[in-house]
Amino acid sequence: MMKGFLKHHGASNIAKAVILLLALIFLYTPIMTLVVYSFNESKMVTIWTTFSLHWYNVLVHDSAIISALCMSLTIAVMAASASVIIGTMAAFVMVRVRQFAGESAFMLFMTAPMVLPEVITGLALLLLYVTLGDFIPVFADRGIIAIWVAHVTFCSAYATVVIRSRFIELDTSVEEAAKDLGAGPLKVFFAIMLPSLMPAEVAAFLLSFTMSMDDLVITSFIAGPESTTLPMLIFSSIRRGLSPEINALAAIIIFVASIGTFIGWLSMVRKQKRIAADVAKAQAEAKRERESSMLGGLRG
């Protein structure tokens, strides 16, 4: 099998299938169990009685959860929008401007928020807000705007990575042609670069949205007593133990996220197929043209 690990081999196909199967079992058992038990009627989380939607009913009538959800959604949409704008700017700077004073620091600022432990970032931001709070009231009451600022800071780092990887692939010749024809830099950006960047912009938006929806630690540090986001609510509830209501909520989150990922994946695959088809068509046309010109040459 070791040999197969490196070479194309009959045994390697089996090894491949076994590895992937084990990986999927490991990844899906926990969340699937959760989904199944969310339909359990019993108040006891681990003992199965009968199928019921009881806990879903309890869930939609829980005003605390609904308001936390609304707060999380509002912040996530706002944070994702701002992150995509900042991320596009940062990606432009990294790919097109490249050389400028303080470039190293710029790169570090745009990478570090992704890896730093959240407890550090959370504490640091809170201390900043406390300091700024003396001058700017928005930061003093640590509400939705303060949380939004914190989320934009780490989400834009992720957005930058996603958008940059697409930016690198852009064909500069079209931009240069547009510039030669007299288009200004803004026009070039909105009419030429942005449409080609669109898939990455959407991906970056979705990633930032998920990151923001998901953040617990940083938000816990900075959120004032009035603000509770959905992860904070779930966390404080499961610290007290398992609850069937949280099972139902978790199942909904898993369901929505899976649908979202699936749609995203499907559109990506379609796009890839379209590009592949276009390339094949172009190649076939080029071949036909070459052949016909050769034939023409023969005739002439």
Partner 1 sequence: MPISALNATQALIRRKLNAGPRRRRKAELLLTRREVTWRERLVILVPYLWMILFFLMPFLIIFKISLSVTEIAIPPYSPIVTFEDGAMQIILHLENYTFIFTDEDGTYMKSYLKSLEVASFSTLLCLFIGYPIAWALSKCRPATRNIMFMLLIMPSWTSFVVRIYAWMALLKKDGLINDVLMALGIIDSPIHMLQTDFAVYVGIVYCYLPYMVLPLFTALLKVDYTLIEAAYDLGARPVKTFFSVLVPQTRSGIIAGSMLVFIPALGEYVIPELLGGKGSILIGRILWQEFFNNRDWPLASAVAIVMLTILAIPIVIFFKSQRKKAEAA
Q: Least CB distance from residue 39 to partner 1, whole Å? A: 14
Question: Where does this chain touch partner 1 (CB under 8 A) — which range of 54-62, 102-110, 194-202, 283-291?
Answer: 102-110
Spell out, one character per residue from 258 to 287, where the chain touches partner 1: x when CB under 8 A holds, - when not.
Answer: x-xxx--x---x--x---------------
Structure tokens belonging to residue 62 = 């829980």
Subset of 22-81 contacting partner 1 (CB under 8 A): 23-24, 26-31, 33-34, 37, 45-47
The residue among 253, 197, 209, 204 whose CA lies nearest residue 59 is 253
CA–CA separation, 188 and 77 (whole Å): 27
CA angle 32, 53, 234 (to 5 degrees): 60
Judged by CB under 8 A, does residue 253 bind partner 1? yes
CA–CA separation, 203 and 260 (whole Å): 11
Q: Least CB distance from residue 292 to partner 1, whole Å? A: 32
Residue 51 forms beta bridges with which residues?
Answer: 40
CA–CA separation, 225 and 207 (whole Å): 28
| Cβ-proximal residues to 135 (8 Å cutoff; 6+ apart), any chain | none
Subset of 221-250 contacting partner 1 (CB under 8 A): 221, 231, 234-235, 238-239, 242, 246-247, 250
Subset of 103-132 contacting partner 1 (CB under 8 A): 106-113, 115-121, 123-125, 127-128, 130-131
- Closer residue to partner 1 in complex, CB, 271/287: 271
Q: Least CB distance from residue 97 to partner 1, whole Å? A: 5
